[in-house]
Structure 1
């Protein structure tokens, strides 16, 4: 007797969506291990932030403010823009999706560097547009000249990720301004700065300094990483009002909860933010220390400016990731390119360096011995 077809198997779906792999979250860490796969902040939430979330819980029978006005006003004041030039969403990835859908449709193209944020291809496919992936430079950074050359009459969006996830390289301010000079003024440029707070390279682009200069630029940031609110999903975009209005029309209504807004506002309080940014400094120092140790071992680790490092393990990526997992370290593997290792607890560092020290590359391609 033949097995019955799974429910829903006969429903007509978009073939490109049916073939699209879902976003893959990192494996959970063992009880005595460390989760270094999702670029999470390893520090526990601040008590003041927890209190703000608890207070918001008393109103969960009501819908939140759909526009997150209080948070938009606070951010607008910080960046010298109007509240209408700030859009809050359920993490910066939700804002990327809304902006892409507002600008790109079937037959259009979206240009971005690759390898970059793993959600980009799916976001473009869902919009119906086509991805145009421009290979990273040998130093794992964006090739902005090649990206500019890839722009055609069909291009509707260009995404620039700095620091680049997962490789950690930044786009310099000079390179970005030169790039913007080549980009048509009617082409939407999204500057994804999810890890900007961890940057210590003074030459790096800083989207906050570019606000108001370009009528086609939107800067995206998040509270997930530096502010430790990954579990609450709140990010923001800053840019021209008409562009953000178009995104508001595509974004899922009421997706930012009252608890998310309360936590973000509490994190922006001066005392709380000072402590949070002090923690960011600790993570950045730990990142640089880990990278230097790996360089001394022989790994060719690119300059890292996020809260993670990139290990270019090449064809041995899956093997190296399994060796790390066996040691209680969950990382994010991208076979056959490399492994992204989040900077986590200090207690994870010795094990990380010990295991990778046993797998020192045998060649300049970064293949372990």
Structure 2
């Protein structure tokens, strides 16, 4: 029997009666960092996705290569990883719930604690803005309502305004530290003061995707906040410091009254066995990993000092990236970088986020800035 081939473009075929949830029309689309363009005579570099430019440790690569049983489902509880993390963080394994990156762990939490109620009202999720681009998407998909609180001019959270935004419908508050894309980290004193103002019924998420790169001695440690505050949930990932972005493995840490429900909403088999073994190996060779991370921190310092020497204002960079508040000049600068075979992340007409990459890439970025006359100046 010959099956007729329909040459019609599928995107042009109408689908009567089929429609998406209205929430999808209201939320932004996630835009991943673009790859660099190919320019003759220049090595291209991707500085648009906050990826670690270095591959995983050799021991981690070996752990990945040694695992051949991909025909079997992974352990849905990621027991080996949770056991390793329990010893590494000194927290009970029962307080750890794994997910497909820290974003996967966040989606599980929002699916559990924020959404639309039986009477049709939506729960509220408060977060700083601009911050992680996926926040409004994840909140919208959960059925909850976003409450965006603008950042301060220096790229930091306005915690007073966030506390004032809490209402009876607030279920979750997201703190991104260091904040992506601007860079500053919250301090222990700031978070302690903030938590004192927030009702204990509200879950406060401390999103620490970039905690490996933080060097501010006053910066908050989410795990310490979790130990002291039953309503705190910590998000972390192996995507950044460990260089496992392509394997998608992250986790949340919270107390049993929260984790008992998170496990119900957890996506089955979200963390593959290969990802789990790679994460375990990364923890077991953490001393080596710290040396590699420090190399990026050293490069970050070089880039920040280079920008400051030009008289440019750079928010306190505690992640593996820097933020340039270029405003209406954002598209122009991104295009200029593209002409030099560098892909950077432009956010409309707000600014450009540039990942700390290979030494040559960072040097080229600084050379572009040295000839650009419209940089964000120190006022």
- Smaller-chain TM-score range? over 0.9
The equivalent position to 1:240 in structure 2, one of 230, 233, 255, is 255
The equivalent position to 2:160 in structure 1, one of 123, 145, 167, is 145
How many residues are paired up? 362
Q: Which moved more, 1:72-81 or 1:136-145?
A: 72-81
* Structure 2 alignment gaps of length 5 or more: 1-7, 117-121
Q: Paired residue for 2:365?
A: 352
- Mapped to 2, the partners of 1:199 and 1:190 lie a distance apart of 18
- TM normalised by structure 2 equals 0.92
Q: Secondary structure at the match of 2:353?
A: strand
Q: Is the 8 A contact 1:297 1:360 kept in 2?
A: no
Q: Is the 8 A contact 1:298 1:361 kept in 2?
A: no
- Mapped to 2, the partners of 1:46 and 1:8 lie a distance apart of 49
Shift of the 362–160 alpha-carbon distance from structure 1 to 2, 3 Å rule, reads closer
Q: Is the 8 A contact 1:108 1:129 kept in 2?
A: yes
Q: Paired residue for 2:277?
A: 262
Moved over 6 A (4+): none
**How far off its partner does 1:21 sit?**
3.8
- Mapped to 2, the partners of 1:20 and 1:186 lie a distance apart of 27
- Mapped to 1, the partners of 2:251 and 2:139 lie a distance apart of 19
- Mapped to 2, the partners of 1:325 and 1:212 lie a distance apart of 45
Q: Paired residue for 1:33?
A: 44
- Mapped to 2, the partners of 1:245 and 1:225 lie a distance apart of 28
Q: Paired residue for 1:54?
A: 65
Q: Paired residue for 1:75?
A: 85
Equivalent residue runs for 1:210-249 within 5 Å: 210-249=225-264
- Mapped to 2, the partners of 1:39 and 1:127 lie a distance apart of 26
Q: Which moved more, 1:298-307 or 1:12-21?
A: 12-21
Q: Secondary structure at the match of 1:267?
A: helix
Q: Which moved more, 1:139-148 or 1:236-245?
A: 236-245
Q: Is the 8 A contact 1:105 1:128 kept in 2?
A: yes
Q: Is the 8 A contact 2:51 2:355 kept in 1?
A: yes
**Pair 1:282 & 2:295 matched:** yes
What do residues 324-345 of structure 1 show as CA deviations (whole Å, max 9, x unaligned)? 0110110110011100000000
Q: Secondary structure at the match of 2:182?
A: coil
Q: Paired residue for 2:3?
A: none
Q: Which moved more, 1:85-94 or 1:29-38?
A: 29-38
Q: Paired residue for 1:16?
A: 23
Q: Paired residue for 1:43?
A: 54
The equivalent position to 1:154 in structure 2, one of 139, 146, 169, is 169
What do residues 333-359 of structure 1 show as CA deviations (whole Å, max 9, x unaligned)? 001110000000001122101111222
The equivalent position to 1:194 in structure 2, one of 209, 214, 227, is 209
Q: Is the 8 A contact 2:27 2:136 kept in 1?
A: no
Q: Secondary structure at the match of 1:266?
A: helix
Q: Paired residue for 2:5?
A: none
Q: Is the 8 A contact 1:200 1:305 kept in 2?
A: yes
Q: Secondary structure at the match of 1:169?
A: coil
Q: Secondary structure at the match of 2:296?
A: helix
- TM normalised by structure 1 equals 0.94
Q: Which moved more, 1:249-258 or 1:151-160?
A: 249-258
Q: Which moved more, 1:257-266 or 1:9-18?
A: 9-18
**How far off its partner does 1:210 sit?**
2.2
Shift of the 362–314 alpha-carbon distance from structure 1 to 2, 3 Å rule, reads same
- Mapped to 2, the partners of 1:77 and 1:360 lie a distance apart of 51
**How far off its partner does 1:175 sit?**
0.5
Q: Paired residue for 1:333?
A: 346
Q: Is the 8 A contact 1:34 1:328 kept in 2?
A: yes
Q: Note the aligned Cα RMSD (angstroms).
A: 1.8
- Mapped to 2, the partners of 1:95 and 1:52 lie a distance apart of 24
